Amino acid sequence: MIEIDHVTKRFADYVAVADADFSIASGEFFSMLGPSGCGKTTTLRMIAGFESPTEGAIRLEGVDVSRVPPHKRNVNTVFQHYALFPHMTVWDNVAYGPRSAKKDKAEIKRSVDELLDIVRLTDFAKRKPGQLSGGQQQRVALARALVNYPSALLLDEPLGALDLKLRHAMQFELKRIQREVGITFIY
């Protein structure tokens, strides 16, 4: 599914990622662990296409995407700050991607309703983000990132803004959601 083939990323004299070499299987929940500054976020940014490797290759589904722009990669990212549209309802936030892609209205309704059910927010569909808890906002961001069914979902410290108790609960929720949708999660 995802191959990181001897990837190095340099910023001037600073080496952010040094010869990373690993593969991630389709449908896997893959976690990158390490201290702050070890290159986890930079690696996610390269997979997403926000950064290009200095050396090596990144392959998604067998295709070298090392120089392919982010919008042409079949991956989505959930960041620590969810960037929800405050003026839109939960339903409209999740529908934003498929609407932008000009998908059929019936297909949009079906996929948005399905994702809201998976993240357990069906009853909150008409609320605005400011009316939700941090955990609920995080689940909206997840649904929005998953609604177009990407090959992989990149999660860059998505629980960092939550308190410890909620962070622990959301870790189990992430795994449950990943199992239900069957998409590769890189955390």
pLDDT at 83: 82
Co-location of 55 and 93 in the same domain: no
pLDDT at 180: 84
Please report the DSSP string for 85-132 in residue order. -TTS-HHHHHHHHHHHTT--HHHHHHHHHHHHHHTT-GGGTTS-GGGS
Co-location of 112 and 187 in the same domain: yes
Separation of alpha carbons 150 and 184, rounded Å: 9
DSSP E strand boundaries for the chain = 2-11, 14-24, 29-30, 55-60, 63-64, 75-78, 152-155, 184-186
Co-location of 80 and 63 in the same domain: no
Co-location of 30 and 122 in the same domain: no
Domain span including residue 120? 74-187
pLDDT digits (tens, 9 = 90+) for 42-92: 999 999 999 999 999 999 999 999 999 998 999 998 877 778 999 999 999
Which residue, of 49, 69, 89, is where some domain finishes?
Answer: 69
CA geometry: angle at 163 spanning 157 and 169, to 5°? 80
Co-location of 52 and 113 in the same domain: no
For β-strands 55-60 and 63-64, DSSP reports them as antiparallel
Which of these ranges, 46-55, 56-65, 121-130, 157-166, has the smallest mean pLDDT? 157-166
Number of domains in the chain: 2
* Closest by CA position to 129, among listed 83, 76, 177: 83
pLDDT digits (tens, 9 = 90+) for 4-21: 999 999 999 999 999 999
Co-location of 52 and 84 in the same domain: no
pLDDT at 169: 75
Co-location of 84 and 47 in the same domain: no
Which residue, of 50, 69, 88, is where some domain finishes?
Answer: 69
User: What own/partner pairs with CB < 8 Å and gap ≥ 24 does 99-107 have?
Assistant: 101/148
pLDDT level of residue 139 (50, 70, 90 thresholds): confident
Co-location of 93 and 63 in the same domain: no
* Closest by CA position to 20, among listed 51, 69, 53, 45: 53
Co-location of 63 and 93 in the same domain: no
Do 1 and 184 touch, CB atoms closer than 8 A? yes
Co-location of 65 and 78 in the same domain: no
Tell me the whole-structure pTM to 2 decimals.
Answer: 0.83
User: Residue 161 pLDDT > 70, yes or no?
Assistant: no
Kind and range of the H or E run holding 51: none
Q: Tell me, what CATH number does 164's domain have?
A: 3.40.50.300
